[in-house]
Structure 1
Amino acid sequence: MADPIPADERILQAALRRFAVDGLSAPLRRVAEDAGVSAGLIIHHYGSREKLLEACDQRTLEVTRTEKSGLLAGGSGELLAQLAQAEQYAPVVGYVLRRLQAGGPLAIQLVEDFATSAVDYLADGERAGTITPSRDPQGRAEVLMEMALGALLLQLPAQREQLDLEELPAWLRKYTQRIIGPLLEIYTIPLLTDRSLLDAYLATTAGPDPTPSPPTTGERP
């Protein structure tokens, strides 16, 4: 018999889903009803709505770090496995959409936290030999996160008052199928045929680039 899920974990899972469905202003009593606890128990475990939202932020970062690290280490097999399990990511994706939609300092902080996490799992990929080292790991991670989250926000299935988490997995699959091919091409086959633009930029800003030239177009390092 499986161990019962602790109350604080039930609250956190319920909050991710409820905030994704109804937005970040969803009543805590609805979260409590979803988790099968009293509203007072939410305050007991998390102290306030803001602290509960911070816990939701941390959970999205943990899930992203785990899945990205697994993808970079597991290669194509892990990619296919994650694509086949879209349903389990729906609450996290929905929550991130709501957080970005709300904007403000907390949304900015979440994006910065995603970038910091990306630095770590990209470094894991470098050590595993699946990611090319960067002359600016932090800058690369920030741009990648801004591009990924910005593209997700532009699609914005959460622009409606309520987000249907039952429909979101199908939307995720359709969205992923549309972007995965072009993204993998951009990431594995350089868009530019040489690095003359980068060299010209570096010559006027940061001096010589200490990193070696990348492989010839289309070749793996």
Structure 2
Amino acid sequence: MTTRARIRNAAIRRFAQDGLSAPLRAVAEDAGVSPGLIVHHFGSRAGLRESCDGYVLEQVRENKAGTLGGPGAGGAMLAQLAQIEGYAPLIGYVLRLLQAGGPLLERFVDQLASDAVEYLHQAEEAGNVRPSRDPEARARVLVEMSLGALLLQLPAQQDTLDLDELPRWLRSYSERILLPILELYTEPLLTDSTLLDSFLQTREGAHHD
């Protein structure tokens, strides 16, 4: 692992544990480097945060693409669930982003939604996901629902998030939501298309006015 990657990984863990305002000297100590080396590699706290955001987004992208995008999607999902504890620092980092709010979170969510459009399109081509009338809107709703549910269950109201305890919480949380989520995605909640048909007709009529 490169020094840059070691610093980035240490920052993700430290920010997840103590919040996004955690001092860079603590990150440096965790990574076994000097604070000056962080500045050398990333330029500033903002540069380090940008690198952390990019890495977390990449991991989410790979995770979702592997789960939805191919004929072995079910097996990929189960394999990832078996290793969910390994995602604890990344989930902790996202929890801290949700806590902090602001423009950086907005940019992060925008990128999550943009990525979701792409991997959902790949899943459509693989025959695992139905096409959408509005792929961008569907992707954003799915992202916002997922993050909103996570925020409601936020185990990091305190100043310090216990990363050793977080894997247990993640396992419990996943086991609780997996059945209803898969039901909602696989077996439609509504028994017919009456509401959808009425909405589409109303919207089409509004567009013609």
TM-score band, normalised by shorter chain:
over 0.9
1:205 alignment partner, SS class: helix
Aligned residue for 1:52?
48
Q: Deviations over 1:95-126 (max 9, x none)?
A: 00001100111111111111111111111101
Counterpart code for 2:45: R
**8 Å contact kept, 2:113–2:143:** yes
Structure 1 residues not aligned, in runs of 5+: 208-221
Aligned residue for 1:168?
166
Instruction: Give distance in 2, aligned partners of 1:85 and 1:106.
Output: 28
Aligned residue for 1:155?
153
Aligned residue for 1:210?
none
Instruction: Give distance in 1, aligned partners of 2:156 and 2:127.
Output: 37
Aligned residue for 1:11?
7
Q: Give the root-mean-square deviation of aligned CA atoms.
A: 1.0
Instruction: Give distance in 2, aligned partners of 1:202 and 1:51.
Output: 45
Instruction: Give distance in 2, aligned partners of 1:158 and 1:19.
Output: 12
Instruction: Give distance in 1, aligned partners of 2:56 and 2:16.
Output: 12
Cα displacement (A) at 1:205: 1.5
Which of 198, 201, 208 pairs up with 1:200?
Answer: 198
Please say if 1:71 is aligned against 2:67: yes
Instruction: Give distance in 1, aligned partners of 2:47 and 2:168.
Output: 31
Instruction: Give distance in 1, aligned partners of 2:100 and 2:185.
Output: 30
Aligned structure 1 segments of 4 or more residues deviating by more than 4 angstroms: none
Instruction: Give distance in 1, aligned partners of 2:149 and 2:60.
Output: 17
- How many residue pairs are counted as aligned between the two chains? 203
Cα displacement (A) at 1:10: 0.3
Cα displacement (A) at 1:75: 2.0
Deviates more, 1:192-201 or 1:5-14: 192-201
Counterpart code for 2:201: A
Structure with the bigger percentage of helix: 2
Q: Deviations over 1:10-45 (max 9, x none)?
A: 010000000000000000011011111111111111
Instruction: Give distance in 2, aligned partners of 1:90 and 1:42.
Output: 23
Counterpart code for 2:196: L
Matches within 5 A, 1:1-221: 5-72=1-68, 73=70, 74-206=72-204
Counterpart code for 1:168: L
Cα displacement (A) at 1:51: 1.3
Instruction: Give distance in 2, aligned partners of 1:81 and 1:91.
Output: 18
**8 Å contact kept, 2:85–2:171:** no
Counterpart code for 2:64: K
Q: Percent identity, aligned pairs only?
A: 62
